[in-house]
């Protein structure tokens, strides 16, 4: 670990590695791991056959949430090339009815929610990997942007 709170972590079976910020909670998953900030930003690594931009994009939208690709470009990575996609995710304001265990039925107004999602899929000779982050539009998460961007820029040989 460096004095700045970062350490290099190898992504198993891909030959890649990323810099991981120790100040964010690390949550292991069967297909990789998440790094979660207290402001709601999530940086992530996915590996395996489903670790592609095409497989990830449909999960960003639903009946009321839209996901719009705002940039799709080839990029040069340390040790190779890949594809980077930036997505604007928006959920409009809405009324929500829910059952609260203490107060019973609750009718509330939810504000518009938004986030920026950046996905990088490196071209690998062996295996698949998807690295990215989801940064909420809220002001509190703005301080997370440099950490999330460093995480993504650090993708390179392990």
pLDDT higher than 80, residue 94: yes
List, for residues 116-129, the tens digit of each pLDDT value: 999 999 988 778 89
CA distance 27 to 24: 9
List, for residues 41-72, the tens digit of each pLDDT value: 999 999 999 999 999 999 999 999 999 999 99
pLDDT at 64: 93
> Architecture of 6-157 per CATH?
3-Layer(aba) Sandwich (3.40)
* Tokens read off for 113: 């929610």
* Tokens read off for 114: 């938004």
Overall average pLDDT of the 29-38 stretch: 95
* Tokens read off for 132: 């990215």
Q: Parse the chain into domains and list their residue ranges.
A: 6-157
pTM of the model: 0.88
Contact 16, 158 (CB under 8 A): yes
Contact 45, 26 (CB under 8 A): no
Taking each continuous run of H as one helix and of E as one strand, the counts in the chain are 2, 12
Give the list of residues 6+ apart from residue 49 with CB closer than 8 angstroms, or none: 128
Q: Of 155, 158, 151, nearest to 6 (Cα)?
A: 151
């Amino acid at each position: 670990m460096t004095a700045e709170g970062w350490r290099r972590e190898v992504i198993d079976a891909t030959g890649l590695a990323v810099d991981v910020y120790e100040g964010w909670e690390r949550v292991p998953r069967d297909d990789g791991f998440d790094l979660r900030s207290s402001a709601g930003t999530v940086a992530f690594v996915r590996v395996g056959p489903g670790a592609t931009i095409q497989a990830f994009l449909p999960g960003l939208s639903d009946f009321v949430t839209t996901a719009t690709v705002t940039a799709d470009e080839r990029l040069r990575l340390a040790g190779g090339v890949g594809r980077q996609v930036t997505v604007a995710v928006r959920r409009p304001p809405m009324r929500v009815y829910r059952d609260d265990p203490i107060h019973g039925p609750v009718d509330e107004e939810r504000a518009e929610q938004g986030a920026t999602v950046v996905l990088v899929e490196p071209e690998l000779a062996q295996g698949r990997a998807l690295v990215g982050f989801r940064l909420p539009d809220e002001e509190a998460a703005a301080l997370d942007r440099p950490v999330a961007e460093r995480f993504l820029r650090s993708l390179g040989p392990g």
